[in-house]
Chains A and B, each alone.
Chain A
């Protein structure tokens, strides 16, 4: 723990990103307690208002407080990002482990399947799935997660190929350890580091995907607030109130920037060959 704190102190961008994300999580959880207004409370006499002491970031086209909606949108946005990444991990990690460890024809077959899935642009497949399952955030993000899974599987496979050559893996095999035990207790923990980095980076991609899907009206459905959906409303009033688009857009930008910065810092920290640079 002290080592981690020392690492943070010598990496200001990573520390700042972590601080931002922790603050965002706290705000997301505490939104019902600390948000100044209800996210759905309309005030038709005060629509598209500019920032003021009553409404820090103004009000939207229905007179709802933008700052409160931004806070209530945070948990929905984060839920969507984590859902996609968790789906990607649950599908991708075991497949990558098996392909890498077993090798041979199974590996060939799995690799072809991964190639096929990797060829789908994530958003396009997600739109296809929401079109079939019906619009909704959960459906769309599960589809995004399915598109993530081959990336994680490939990474896991490549690492497993390296780790399974290690002498200690031979040793536990000679001791008669079962296949699941070898893979789960000895191969995976030593091959998972690059996957952790990739997961952090994918959170940013998932966040942008959620924003895109909700912007297109295929994700979050009104009146639920999400940053992408807020941008979709702002789009309709772009000519008369262009300032409506700044707060949600910046929220998306800063959050995805924080995930990316943290991921890159982790990559450098975990990669022994890059340490000296």
Chain B
């Protein structure tokens, strides 16, 4: 089963890389002319076309690009001429810290409230929790980020308003800088965890075998902790996979609000200035992270639920 899954992701990765490389084909007109800038001589354009391999057939370009990418060579930035891989590795830790903290916050806050709401469906607490969760899903995360900056950074000076510090340089400063962005990201994460966990747990708690457990005299607490949560852990794994995908998208906008030098600001800057290798590099690394994480989750499914392996 695990081997089959690993084999199955190879075409997924190939297709995803094809989409990432295909982005370049969407560029209207001749990329070399765009790159050469205004008033470039024909010789300069030809030189650029050759140095970036733009004169070769599409599939050859794709093959070369993929081969290099597999060897961690993502070409060089058109703007700074720095290797794209180095730029990404330089910025990745900052994004990882924010996204990681946001994911942790989502689970730490979301799981208890999801369980509380599911065990008392229809109660005042349930209504309150689900209402707040619906707000959290509908809330634009960058707007929440702006409100947090205006309140906690600009008015009250509790947290820095902008920037980031590397975890290796000063852990306390790094966490201080990451707090507000992580909260802004986590709002929708908490809401998603609550909603998904609640509906999955309600379904399990109203199923036939739980009724049997009640009938044989098992206490509601024992049913919840021994049977309910074991079955709901699969849902939780699925939610984690979904959340990482969403958080990686959301961090792009939230990083812009806090002027954080992470992956998000890298791709936005590159997209505005038509620095295609950087755009491709960031999209590629995010998609590979999501695919590999989903593979890991699929493998964990078989650990949690041996029936999956039999299929």
CB distance from B260 to the nearest CB of A (A): 14
State whether the Cβ of B176 lies closer than 8 Å to any Cβ in chain A: no
Among B280-311, those with CB < 8 Å from A are: 280, 282-283, 286-287, 290-291, 294
- Min C-beta distance of B140 to chain A, whole Å: 5
Q: Mark A242-277, 1 if CB is under 8 A from B, else 0.
A: 100100010011001100110010000000000001
Q: Is the CB of A231 within 8 A of B142?
A: yes
Nearest neighbor of A211 in chain B, beta-carbon distance = B140
- B154 and A124: CB pair below 8 A? no
Restricting to B255-272, which residues have a CB under 8 Å from any CB of A? 256-257, 267-268, 270-272
Partner of A215 from the list B12, B16, B256, B282 (CB cut-off 8 Å) is B256
Partner of A242, one of B138, B143, B154: B154
Q: Are B8 and A112 in contact (CB under 8 A)?
A: yes
A204 to B146 Cα, complex, angstroms: 20
A166 at the interface (CB under 8 A from B): no
**Contact call B16/A116, Cβ cutoff below 8 A:** yes
Given A124-B286, A217-B272, A252 and B16 contact (CB-CB distance below 8 Å): no
Name the one of A113, A208, A238 contacting B146, with C-beta atoms under 8 angstroms: A238
A79-119 interface with B by 8 A CB criterion: 112-113, 115-119
Binds B, one of A58-66, A126-134, A184-192: A126-134
Instruction: Judge whether B19 and A116 touch: CB under 8 Å.
Output: yes
B124 to chain A, nearest CB (A): 16
Contact of B12 among A116, A217, A228 (CB under 8 A): A116
With an 8 A cutoff between CB atoms, is B245 at the interface?
Answer: yes
A208-B140, A217-B272, A239-B154 known; A133+B27 contact, CB < 8 A:
yes
* B103: interface (CB < 8 Å): no
User: Using Cβ atoms and an 8 Å threshold, which residues of chain B touch A123?
Assistant: 249-250, 252-253
> What chain A residues lie within 8 Å of B128 (beta carbons)?
none
Cα A124 to Cα B282 in complex, Å, equals 8
Is B280 in contact with A128, judged by CB distance below 8 angstroms? yes
Measured as residues with beta carbon below 8 angstroms from the partner, the interface class of chain B is 35 or more
Docked-complex contact B283 and A257, CB < 8 angstroms: no
Given A211-B140, A238-B146, A245-B150, A131 contacting B253 (CB threshold 8 A): no
Within B147-202, which residues are at the interface with A (CB < 8 Å)?
147, 149-150, 154
The chain A residue with its CB closest to the CB of B31 is A132
Is B23 an interface residue, CB under 8 A from the partner?
Answer: yes
Q: Which of B121, B154, B256 contacts A238 (CB 8 A)?
A: B154
Question: A112-B15, A121-B290, A253-B143 known; A128 and B20 CB under 8 Å?
Answer: yes
A245 contact set on B, CB distance < 8 A: 143, 146-147, 150
Q: How far is the CB of A129 from chain B (nearest CB, A)?
A: 6
Chain B hits for A122, CB < 8 A: 249
A216-B268, A238-B150 known; A132+B291 contact, CB < 8 A: no
Kindly state the interface size class of chain A when it binds its partner.
35 or more
B271 touches A131 (CB 8 A): yes
Contact A253 B142 (CB under 8 A): no
| Closest A residue by C-beta to B146 | A245
Interface pair A257/B134, CB less than 8 Å apart: yes
Known: A112-B8, A119-B245, A133-B27. A238 touches B149 (CB 8 A): yes
Q: Name the one of B138, B149, B249 contacting A256, with C-beta atoms under 8 angstroms.
A: B138
Which A18-72 residues have a C-beta within 8 angstroms of B? none
Q: Which of B12, B28, B294 has the most CB of A within 10 A?
A: B12
Residue of A nearest to B206 (CB): A277
* A210 CB to nearest B CB, Å: 10
Chain A residues in 8 Å Cβ range of B137: 204, 256, 260
Task: List, in ascending order, chain B residues with CB within 8 A of A216's CB.
Answer: 252-253, 256, 268
A228 to B256, CA, bound (A): 13
Say yes or no: is B217 at the interface (Cβ < 8 Å to chain A): no
Q: How far is the CA of A130 from the CA of B294 in the complex (A)?
A: 27
Answer yes or no: A155 CB below 8 A from chain B CBs. Answer: no
B115 at the A interface (CB under 8 A): no
Interfacial chain B residues near A211, Cβ < 8 Å: 140, 142-143
The docked-state distance in angstroms from the alpha carbon of A207 to that of B245 is 18
Return chain A residues, CB-CB under 8 Å to B147.
245, 249
CA distance A253 to B294 in the complex (A): 30
What is the interface of chain A, defined by CB distance below 8 A to chain B? 112-113, 115-125, 127-135, 204, 208, 211-212, 215-218, 228, 231, 234-235, 238-239, 242, 245, 249, 252-253, 256-257, 260-261, 264, 277
Q: A134-B28, A242-B150 are in contact. List 10 more A-B contacts (CB 8 A).
A: A117-B16, A119-B12, A119-B290, A121-B252, A124-B249, A124-B267, A127-B271, A131-B274, A135-B272, A208-B140
Q: List 9 A-B contacts (CB under 8 A).
A: A125-B283, A132-B23, A132-B26, A135-B272, A211-B140, A212-B142, A212-B253, A217-B272, A235-B257
Enumerate the 5 nearest inter-chain pairs by beta-carbon distance, A residue then B residue, closest first: A131-B271, A121-B249, A116-B15, A257-B138, A132-B26
